[in-house]
Structure 1
Amino acid sequence: MPPPRKQHYGIKHASGSLIHYRPPVSAITQRRHSAVVPSVLTFAVIVASGGLLLMIEKGMLNSVETPPPRANGKRFARNNNPAADVESQILQEIRNRTIRSMCGQRNTPNSVWSLSPLQRKTLLQHVLVNDEHRFLYCYVPKVACSNWKRVLKVLTGALANVDVKMKMDHRADLLFLSDFSPEEIRHRLRHYFKFMFVREPMARLLSAYRNKLGEIEAYQRKYGAEIVRRYRKGYAKTRKIAGNDVTFTEFVRYLIDEDPERMNEHWMPITNLCHPCAIQYNFIGSYERLESDAAYVLERVGAPQHVRFPERQTWYRPVTKETLHYYLCTVPQKFLKELLPKYILDFSLFGYSLPNTTTEYCRH
């Protein structure tokens, strides 16, 4: 029986930050800061991590899939593809080495308690807990987190199976690390299996843009209308705006001006959500090989055989390479050059190649 849960956020501790994105005096200074400091630091780390930079530049990781590592030298029954298993272990080792190098930098927070209060609150509110199977899952919006929440609800008996037709309640019947006391948090971080899932950063942004600003009225009213007022010429500040026709370029300009630590969770950088330096994850799966990575995790945490990861819904519109290429090439390069540094850690730590948006490439 787990100890009683308490709501707790306000631990007083020395604060730290992977990258200080707090806006300085002017927006121009802030943009220059975010464009130079993260990029230089991160790529220096990549070089030190044993050749990942070369692989990123040549796009050699595009065909390499995210790893399901073996347990005690044995391959799990739910994932029995030897070739994929080898490729997975290679990428997992590259990721692990890069993260260790990055997290070894001075002033980098290496525990939950060395994060700033805001960073810690964000992290603890995104880590889901299952005490029966002893695991922690840091959920990242737009990386199949709704389906993972379904799985957690099935494991706790709140859902009969993952195929039950229902609107997802993202809070009900779920346990968050923020629900526990500091000592209870420390115990679970020390003894539970910890995992997260990542996705190519620009594909995740495009998915958020198409879903939240293209389909959901509440987001259109809250974010879409504000984006139009800020970045579209000719709109009176007092005019009522639906916010349902935001262009991708306008969305990018909005992201450039936002503080990553205060962004909406659907487009906040993954490193700001899950802090892979503050929590040493046992496994980092990827959206690009979701089926096999999810199968590995379910096997690893001892989920019953009848519990499976849900299939994608028939209405789901995937973000293809061609779709992403089209949208990125509609954005002026000067804006992309300001946007990418905000997500540079997501690219480098998780082994994703930077997008090619050169004029020549975009003509095709």
Structure 2
Amino acid sequence: MRCLYERCSRAVVPILLLLFPLCYLLTRDGGGGGGDGQQLTLVLTESEVNSILAAKNATLASFVSSTTTTRKPKTLDFVVIKNKVYRKSEVSKEEWKRLREKDGIKKVGDKWPPRLELSDAADLFRIDLSGFPPEEREFLEARREVMARRARQIRIQCKAHPKQTPISSHLLFDQKHTPNIVWCPNYKVASTTWMVKFLKLAHFNDDNPAIPEVPDAEKNLLKYSPKYGARHGVVYDLYPTPASAKEKVEVLKRSIRLIIVRHPFTRVLSAYRDKMIKEHPLPPKFKFRELQKKIIEQYRPKNSNNTSPFPTFPEFVQHIIDLTTGFTTTKEWRQKVRCWTPYWAQCGVCTTDYNLVMKLETMTEDERFLVTLANLTELKKSGGEWRHLQNVSSATAAPLYYRQLTTSQMLDLHRSYKKDFDLFNYTIDDYLPLAKDAHH
């Protein structure tokens, strides 16, 4: 076979490049292309040969360049953060750090929320108490042991539930006092009371000329009322959250980590009294009035003589039972329940290592411990200042309401909040005898 090209134009050069592999297949010994071993000859001019070689060299150079780039990519002299381009050479090390933190870019290991190892309140025992007067030191040492027992109870129960994952809670970071305080508020557990206390610690409205000159007791109520700007959001403005994940973790680790709890049954009752028997319960965004109507429609018999526009306590409890039976995750509770979410789901009890567990049942001693330890001077004279308790407390009123429930309802409600009962060592022993069918 003889191929003869006597003066090919330069236009056929690409075609010739494609013919080379074909020619090879046709002429190699035993080639799979069915070649017969005949010699194939291409006759080209000198200029055509030079054109082919130039094209070949260009293709080879392009291939080498592409493979080299793939193996060793160039280091770019700029970086893009949230659609903004910054030249690395123009950004100082400090500015680069600020840009990373501002745009939420975390270094490896800067995880939020973190998982802190439960330590039985070990941090409290690292605080030097030698500088306190003897009487205060004796009280602090004794109360510290109580806090250690409470923290140990949490560790033991969390060990039985090892799959708890860290959750992002709406923590309040107080770095104004030493030691620092990080508090996780829980609805219906003195949260408003302690928001007011933190406002007092920040001297909120101390010099507000708009507040009239009235007796001190009345003036204090006005200072910390919504009318004069005392809202939960203001508290977080006065105690700003650290800017970066790394800073938050550092502050959390070195702080008194505070959680306030109460018996889960009195908390449920407090939620009922505050959210279910008011025409305009707060906050409006949670739509509690709509929930009231829904509960009545679902649980009140059509032929009932009860014409109240509000759910009864048994109706409310049955709603909680039916809604939450089978809940096992934080996500389920947080998405479907407002204001009576369990402590473990609200505050990440098993991953935050709370070293100061205050209980409403022992608030006098517990508050004294915190106020003394962190030198919260402004609170030393506040005494029993409680918000939302204008009438009888829910703990005192509990027997009246829980007598309306059956034993089965109490056990089912206990099952929904069992983790909280176990974590904080509460029982239903005092409640079961109150059930309306307990003596039948």
TM category, shorter: 0.5 to 0.7
Query: Which deviates further from its counterpart, 248-257 or 222-231?
Result: 222-231
The alpha-carbon distance between structure 1 residues 97 and 154, as it changes in their structure 2 partners (threshold 3 A), is same
Matches within 5 A, 1:69-84: 72=128
Query: Which deviates further from its counterpart, 337-346 or 252-261?
Result: 252-261
Q: Does 1:295 align with 2:356?
A: no
1:163 is matched with 220
1:266 is matched with 339
Specify which structure has the bigger relative contact order, considering alpha-carbon pairs within 8 angstroms and separated by 6 or more residues: 1
Q: Which amino acid is 2:271 matched to?
A: A
1:141 is matched with 187
Q: Please tell me whether the aligned partners of residues 110 and 246 of structure 2 are also in contact (alpha carbons under 8 angstroms).
A: no
Q: Please tell me whether the aligned partners of residues 108 and 277 of structure 1 are also in contact (alpha carbons under 8 angstroms).
A: no
Q: Deviations over 1:84-104 (max 9, x none)?
A: 985x55643432222112233
2:350 is matched with 277
Matches within 5 A, 1:33-112: 72=128, 86=142, 88=143, 91-105=146-160, 107-109=162-164
Counterparts of 1:246 and 1:340, CA distance in 2: 20
Q: Please tell me whether the aligned partners of residues 195 and 282 of structure 1 are also in contact (alpha carbons under 8 angstroms).
A: yes
* Structure 1 unaligned spans of 5+: 18-48, 50-68, 236-241
Q: Aligned to 2:310, which of 245, 248, 252?
A: 245
Q: Please tell me whether the aligned partners of residues 194 and 282 of structure 1 are also in contact (alpha carbons under 8 angstroms).
A: yes
Q: Which amino acid is 2:247 matched to?
A: E
CA RMSD of aligned residues (A): 4.2
* Structure 2 unaligned spans of 5+: 1-97, 207-215, 282-286, 325-331
Q: Deviations over 1:160-216 (max 9, x none)?
A: 399242135222232578774322221221122211111011011111101211135
Q: Does 1:330 align with 2:404?
A: yes
Counterparts of 1:96 and 1:208, CA distance in 2: 26
Q: Please tell me whether the aligned partners of residues 9 and 178 of structure 1 are also in contact (alpha carbons under 8 angstroms).
A: no
Counterparts of 1:335 and 1:9, CA distance in 2: 48
Counterparts of 1:295 and 1:337, CA distance in 2: 35
Counterparts of 2:131 and 2:361, CA distance in 1: 20
SS of aligned partner of 1:351: coil
1:130 is matched with 174
Counterparts of 1:89 and 1:261, CA distance in 2: 32
SS of aligned partner of 1:217: coil
Counterparts of 1:205 and 1:7, CA distance in 2: 40
Q: Aligned to 2:293, which of 208, 225, 228?
A: 225
Counterparts of 1:147 and 1:308, CA distance in 2: 15
Q: Which amino acid is 1:248 matched to?
A: F
SS of aligned partner of 1:290: helix
Q: Please tell me whether the aligned partners of residues 78 and 299 of structure 1 are also in contact (alpha carbons under 8 angstroms).
A: no
Compare CA radii of gyration and give the structure with the larger one.
2
Percent identical: 19
Q: Which amino acid is 2:376 matched to?
A: A
Q: Please tell me whether the aligned partners of residues 193 and 282 of structure 1 are also in contact (alpha carbons under 8 angstroms).
A: yes
Counterparts of 2:183 and 2:273, CA distance in 1: 26
1:191 is matched with 254
The alpha-carbon distance between structure 1 residues 85 and 138, as it changes in their structure 2 partners (threshold 3 A), is same
Counterparts of 2:105 and 2:310, CA distance in 1: 38
Q: Please tell me whether the aligned partners of residues 79 and 292 of structure 1 are also in contact (alpha carbons under 8 angstroms).
A: no
Deviation at 1:136, TM superposition (A): 0.4
SS of aligned partner of 2:173: strand
Counterparts of 2:241 and 2:186, CA distance in 1: 16
Counterparts of 2:201 and 2:405, CA distance in 1: 43
Deviation at 1:320, TM superposition (A): 3.7
1:255 is matched with 320
Query: Which deviates further from its counterpart, 97-106 or 192-201?
Result: 97-106
Q: Aligned to 2:198, which of 148, 152, 156?
A: 152
Counterparts of 1:137 and 1:80, CA distance in 2: 23
Q: Please tell me whether the aligned partners of residues 317 and 413 of structure 2 are also in contact (alpha carbons under 8 angstroms).
A: yes
Number of residues of Structure 1 aligned to a counterpart in Structure 2: 293
The alpha-carbon distance between structure 1 residues 273 and 178, as it changes in their structure 2 partners (threshold 3 A), is farther
Q: Deviations over 1:1-35 (max 9, x none)?
A: xx999697999989999xxxxxxxxxxxxxxxxxx
Deviation at 1:217, TM superposition (A): 1.7
Q: Deviations over 1:119-155 (max 9, x none)?
A: x24x2x2x11112122101111221111111111222
SS of aligned partner of 2:366: helix
